[in-house]
Amino acid sequence: MTSVVAWNGSASARAALLWALRRERERSGRGGLLLLTVIDEAFRSCGQAAMDELTVAARQALEAEVTWVERMAPEVSVTARLLEGDPERELLRHCPDGSMLIVGRGEPRSHFHRRALAPRLASQASVPVALVRADRGQDRSGVIVGVDGSNASAEASVVAAEEAHHRHEPLHLVHAWPGTNPGPPAPTSPDTDLAHHRRILDEAVRAIREGFPSLDIAPHLESGQAASVLSRQAQTAALLVVGSRAQGPVKRFLLGSVSRALAQTTDCPLIIVTEGDHGPQ
């Protein structure tokens, strides 16, 4: 499973590259690393000379980065492509089937990320998208996946289990239920309600156990809003995986509310798996 890194020379792109490199090493470099750099076609209006200067700078930077990867991780096969066009479109077009697209996330207050590319990419990609923020040297462990009984969350669980397996880390399946939140009285009694949520979680655990018998799996039933429960759990986690429901072609560029909230708030690396993504199989 190739790790595709959206690389533009920035500090957050470097965070994405480091994350991808670690991921490939855990897989003994079998998947390979692909660095994609897209020169934004919008700069054409600055003139051909400006475009040429940018292209030369990008090519030299990309070559230097590839040299560094080859030196650091000779076991990982690394390739790079320099493209020109609309960054979003070109990145999506050049992700091979079965790969994972890895995108760096800038600091929220950065000047250069007004157009938040990363979350929108996640909603349109046909592969899982990992959003990675620069590591702050915090101790993180465990892979967390949000479970809600949907197809999207089932696919996300498989991706999460794969990641946990290669990292030799436990997998935490987290299901959030509204619990005793104030609001209109539930149509069912709280007891049957809780039993229903427990069944969703048990079913998810059973499905993953079948596919990954040796994996250390921990189910968690938490009361609260999904986004805040996952965000709290992700504070110390090494990785958070969520599913996002497939939408019609028009709504496809809108990310689900939970994944959108998490993409904005959490510092933890986040993988968004959209229903129907050609996942790791």
Partner 1 sequence: MYEKTVVGWDGSAPAQAAVDWAVRWVEERSRAVRIVRVVDSDALDADDLDIRWSVAVATFALAEVAAQLRVGHPEMDVTTAVALGEPAEVLNEHAEGDSLIVVGTQHGHIDEYWFSSRLGARLAAVAGRAVAVIPITDSRERSGVIAGISGFDERASVGLFAAEVAQLRSEKLHLVYACPKHTVRSEAAFGHCDDAAFDRTLSAVSRAFPTLVVHCHVEHTSPASALLLRARDASLIVVGTRRPGVARRLVLGSVSHTLVNNAPCPTVVVPTIANGPL
Q: Which is nearer to partner 1, 111 or 168 (CB)?
A: 111
* Binding-site size, partner 1 (CB under 8 A): 25
Report, in Å, the least distance between residue 84 CB and partner 1.
12
Site for partner 1 in 104-143 (CB under 8 A): 111-112
Site for partner 1 in 244-263 (CB under 8 A): none
Q: β-strands 78-85, 100-105: how paired?
A: unpaired
Q: Which is nearer to partner 1, 137 or 249 (CB)?
A: 137
Distance CA 255, CA 265 (A): 14
* Angle between helices 11-26 and 151-167 in degrees, nearest 10: 70
Handedness of CA 255, 110, 240, 236 (dihedral sign): negative
Site for partner 1 in 17-76 (CB under 8 A): 40, 42-43, 45-46, 50, 53-54, 57-58, 60-61, 64-65, 67-68, 71-72
In this structure, what are the phi and psi dihedrals at residue 216, rounded to the nearest 5 degrees? -80, 110
Q: β-strands 100-105, 143-146: how paired?
A: unpaired
Cβ atoms of residues 18 and 64 within 8 Å: no
Q: Which is nearer to partner 1, 28 or 67 (CB)?
A: 67
- DSSP alpha helices (H): ranges in 73-187? 87-93, 117-124, 151-167
Report, in Å, the least distance between residue 16 CB and partner 1.
13
Q: Which residues contribute to the site for partner 1 (CB under 8 A)?
A: 8-11, 14, 40, 42-43, 45-46, 50, 53-54, 57-58, 60-61, 64-65, 67-68, 71-72, 111-112
